[in-house]
Chain A
Amino acid sequence: MEQFRINPNNGLEFGLYTLGDHLPNPQTGERISAEQRIHEIIELAQLAEQAGIDFFSVGESHQEYFTTQAHTVVLSAIAQATEKIKISSSSTIISTLDPVRAYEDFATLDLISKGRAEIVAGRASRVGNFDLLGYSLRDYEELYEEKFDLLLQINENEIVNWEGQYRAPLRNAKVLPRPKDGSLPIWRAVGGTPASARKAGYAGVPMYLAHLGGPATVFKRSIDAYRDALQGSGYDPADFPVSTAGFFYAAETSQQALKELYPHINEGMKKTNGQGFPKQHFAQGADPRDVMNIGSPQEIIEKILYQHELFGHQRYIAQMDFGGMPFDQLKRNIDIIGTEILPAIKKHTAKG
């Protein structure tokens, strides 16, 4: 765990993530400028730090309705604006980047932030980056596996000798600068299914598990599959942290939370995925057994503790800014997290 900068004695870490989406607010039909959205993301990270939140991450999506394509640049502004919150991508699409350049960026980010940077590397669920950056979707899997592996090698070795299919060979290559403590926590982004989770286990890396909705017990299967694959590959599952990530929204009552959040999720998904979120499924999201953390502060606390008991995970990362959510509502949520949710979660999960 230590290698991944996780101290289990501190209890479950709580984070925030943004996909960097840039969508109209469905309540008004208006969309803020890209400039304002980026500044609000940076401010959100500052507010999160002030509220005691452990982690903040920014996604990379190369297509319409997104604005943090250059996510490392945004993260570096966040690094400068904050002091102690951990910062990461969620996810870096390593398949269509050069792992050397990506590592240089994140190692630099680690130095700017004085040892707070992490990488979550994924394969992309929105694939606009392939056309734009000149890659073929036919190589979707191999591009990821090869480049993710190179990224790990660069992380583990200061001098790299490497040869592969999708990048020029490296001969005694020194990838600089090095991160503050020599290496970075690098997580594998997993899209929810056990098959996908197993791959993180085979690779012997921490798992970042994204979940949209559904019973928490379904995602437990993926976490079990991950730990099983770790064990089968000769690793000790106790050495590897798991983080989960999904929708979050707190309001006075669960009804109020559903009401304030639903149009943002539904309209936002229509624009970015081409299909909305059925009300029937969304209503089930408020159920204590569902993995979506939507409800009153007390209900959310109970849900997160239930998930923690089930998953034994080390970090939960909340997404609450999707679909043009107004900034004052985000601020109110950060307030609730800082004053009510975080203290309760730390109290119940921290040791000693």
Chain B
Amino acid sequence: MNIVALSGSRVGSKTRTAIDYTANTIKDKYADHNFTLIDLADYDIQFSDGRNYLEYDGDTGYVTQTIMEADAIIIGTPIFQASIPATLKNIFDLLPVNAFRDKVVSMLATAGSPKHYLILENQLKPILGYMKAQIVQSYVFIEEEDFQRKEIINHDVLFRIERLVEDTVVLTQTYQRIREEEDAKYDF
């Protein structure tokens, strides 16, 4: 299984910190899977101009192709201006409409205010659903006070991240197994 963790912002450090914890959980518990961490702050990605994702080169081509080859994607995002950052939306715009078909996508958010809790529910989930993702319904919402100098100090958040990783992997394996069984029935 190819697992990708995507840190969706070029601003700040909290989302990357949370994704690092997520990455460590994956490496500890699921070392036999292929894992790639993509932090959008490390890449120079162009805005979507409508072409097929295979036709981008450089960082844009690498990131879109890595995501398309994933079976499971864990998206980490901050909340900016009551929404997801443009860097993350641009990734969706770069991909085909059915990009997440046969993929499981899960989410974690870092936010400066508890008022942002439903942003993922109202804004990110509809995008993932439109792109045909199987969504892990529960997400991890992490607030300012859970961090201290690039560490997560709230143990409950750490437990929730562990559960998110586990749910993502279990759901991906389950869907893969179901799909294999169903595809086998077609006999072609």
List of A residues within 8 angstroms of B102 by Cβ: 278
- Give the 6 A-B CB pairs with smallest separation, nearest first: A258-B188, A259-B188, A274-B54, A279-B183, A262-B188, A279-B186
List of B residues within 8 angstroms of A63 by Cβ: 55
B156 within 8 A of A: no
A140 within 8 A of B: yes
Given contacts A255-B187, A255-B188, A283-B186, contact A275 B55 (CB under 8 A): no
Q: In the complex, A317 Cα to B154 Cα: how many Å?
A: 64
Cross-chain contact B187 with A259 (CB below 8 angstroms): yes
B86-122: which have CB < 8 Å to A? 96, 98-99, 101-102
Nearest residue (CB) in B for A64 is B54
Interface contacts (Cβ under 8 Å), in number, total 44
Looking at chain A's contact residues, the main secondary structure is helix
Interface on B for A, CB 8 Å cutoff?
49-55, 68, 96, 98-99, 101-102, 182-183, 186-188
Cross-chain contact B52 with A137 (CB below 8 angstroms): no
Cross-chain contact B51 with A127 (CB below 8 angstroms): yes
Interface residue range, chain A: 20 to 34
Cross-chain contact B182 with A127 (CB below 8 angstroms): no
A351 within 8 A of B: no
List of A residues within 8 angstroms of B182 by Cβ: 279-280
Partner of B96, one of A127, A138, A255, A274: A274
Q: Give, as a whole number of angstroms, the nearest-CB distance from A140 to chain B.
A: 7
A182 within 8 A of B: no
A215 within 8 A of B: no
Q: In the complex, A138 Cα to B50 Cα: how many Å?
A: 9
List of A residues within 8 angstroms of B99 by Cβ: 275
A128 within 8 A of B: yes
Partner of A273, one of B49, B52, B101, B186: B52
Cross-chain contact A274 with B188 (CB below 8 angstroms): no
Annotate A128-149 by CB proximity to B: 1 below 8 A, 0 otherwise.
Answer: 1001000001101000000000
Partner of A137, one of B50, B68, B186: B50
Cross-chain contact B50 with A274 (CB below 8 angstroms): no
List of B residues within 8 angstroms of A127 by Cβ: 51-52, 55
Q: In the complex, A273 Cα to B50 Cα: how many Å?
A: 13
